[in-house]
Amino acid sequence: MVDDGELDDRLSAVVALAQAMAAEPDLPGGVAAAAEGALRALRGSFAAVSVWERERGRLRVLVNAGELDGDEERLPADESYPVHNFPEIAEFLHEEWVGGRPHAWVERADGPDECAEYAGHRVVSLRRHRRSSCVIAPIVLHGRAWGELYVARPQGAPVFDRKDADFATVLAAVTAAGIVQTERLEEVRRLAYTDPLTGLGNRRAVDARLDEAVERHLAEGVVVSLVVCDLNGLKRVNDTLGHAQGDRLLERFGSLLSLCGARLPGALAARLGGDEFCLLSVGPPADEVVRAAEELCLSAGRLELGEGVACGIASTGDPIGEVRSARRLFRLADAAQYRAKAAGSRKPVVAGRDGGLADPVVRLADRPPRPAAAERRRFRGRR
């Protein structure tokens, strides 16, 4: 039996674990909070959260917490174990895990080296790391075995008992609920920053990344380049061949833009809306960005649908004057794209490369807007 004082402590520990996971923005942070919370709640010296990667047949450690041995890392790059070393995951406890009745169990360092069921590798690990006992609690998501919560105590400490295992079962259930919530939030975030047709980033993603990029440029001098593209002929395709073919054109160009971005480490490829796309590059020199955009224009011109692309580039690596805001870089790239479209250019137009600040593109972008003139894009008016 658990006395009232211990029950209160355990209830507080459960609440604290749930709150800690809820405060984390992503899965790595959430499972780290779960490991730390379980470590404290069960008075252990070491804890880990692992995931069962079915496609690879392995149990992969996501986080280690507490007192780490020499071969243990807090966030291991690739600490994993063949699942057949721990058959309880896929065999002995499978029905209970899938049925939603997962029960934690205890292993002791003074257990047998090998046994007919599944204790052997756990016992060997305990002895190697000089730990007296461990409790293993299955983590079940959506009715399927997801992974495990593992907590151990050092030599000389009281070994875990059945009450601890029951408590670990509760902690694993709270961990599972936290992981589900994190997955939902990550999916919401992904959808909020993704164009549903092309799978590229959307304007919200560009705005957020560009703000960060300009801050880095101002603080560190990093080169920030923006490529703005207008896909030619989309309206004609929609009007003559139907919107399904128009969507196909958008998807095909989106794939080309993604390939273009792959040549620039860390670049973000995005669809701003309608027939407008952009590529945001942070770090690579302006000339590399221009070369990638030239390849993009050539590839777009070979598409079986559409009429190529009008492409404008603005980069802090070119003589365009001081860039202190995302808005100015957008206006420069947009002005360059406008000039490319007006001239029917099959190559990118690059702001600042035709006379620096006297470049017609730079002058167009920096010209004060007429009071009655409507903005071509809403993002020009933001901030």
DSSP symbols for 1-62? ---HHHHHHHHHHHHHHHHHHHT-SSHHHHHHHHHHHHHHHTT-SEEEEEEEEGGGTEEEEE
pLDDT score for 52: 87
* DSSP one-letter code for 142: T
Q: Is the pTM of this model over 0.85?
A: no
Distances (CA, A) of 182 to 23, 27, 61, 105, 177: 10, 6, 18, 26, 9
pLDDT score for 114: 41
Backbone φ, ψ for residue 147 (5° rounding): 175, -150
Element (H, E) at 147: strand 144-154
Bridge pairing between strands 268-273 and 224-231:
unpaired
Helix axes 162-192, 27-41, angle to 10 degrees: 160
CA atoms within 13 A on the CB side of 108: 10
Query: Any residues with CB less than 8 A from the CB of 47 and at least 6 apart, and which?
Result: 35, 36, 38, 39, 64, 65, 66, 149, 150, 151, 152
CA distance 178 to 34: 9
CA distance 20 to 37: 8
CA distance 175 to 14: 10
pLDDT score for 59: 86
Report CA 25 to chain centroid distance, whole Å.
Answer: 11
Length, in residues, of the chain: 383
At 337, list the tokens. 């794209």
Q: What is the rounded (10 degree) CA torsion for 200, 184, 167, 103?
A: -80
Query: Any residues with CB less than 8 A from the CB of 76 and at least 6 apart, and which?
Result: 61, 64
User: Exposed (0-12), middle (13-18) or buried (19+): which is 112, by Cβ within 10 Å?
Assistant: exposed
CB 129 within 8 A of CB 45: no
User: Exposed (0-12), middle (13-18) or buried (19+): which is 122, by Cβ within 10 Å?
Assistant: buried
User: Exposed (0-12), middle (13-18) or buried (19+): which is 207, by Cβ within 10 Å?
Assistant: buried
Mapping DSSP to helix (H, G, I), strand (E, B) and coil, where does residue 196 land?
coil
Mapping DSSP to helix (H, G, I), strand (E, B) and coil, where does residue 93 land?
coil
- What is the chain's pLDDT, residue by residue, as a tens digit (383 residues)? 556 567 778 888 889 898 998 888 888 899 999 999 999 999 999 999 999 887 777 889 999 999 998 888 999 988 988 776 776 665 544 455 455 556 889 999 987 644 434 457 788 889 999 999 999 998 988 777 788 999 999 999 999 999 999 999 999 999 999 998 888 877 777 778 888 888 889 999 999 999 999 999 999 999 999 999 999 999 999 889 999 999 999 999 998 998 888 888 889 999 999 999 999 999 999 999 999 999 999 999 988 888 999 999 999 999 998 899 999 999 999 999 999 999 899 899 999 888 767 778 888 888 766 554 444 444 444 43
* DSSP one-letter code for 268: E
pLDDT score for 118: 47
Backbone φ, ψ for residue 59 (5° rounding): -105, 115
CA distance 108 to 132: 6
Distances (CA, A) of 354 to 169, 334, 357: 69, 16, 9
Q: What is the rounded (10 degree) CA torsion for 327, 226, 224, 336?
A: -80
Dmax over CA atoms of the chain, in Å, equals 85
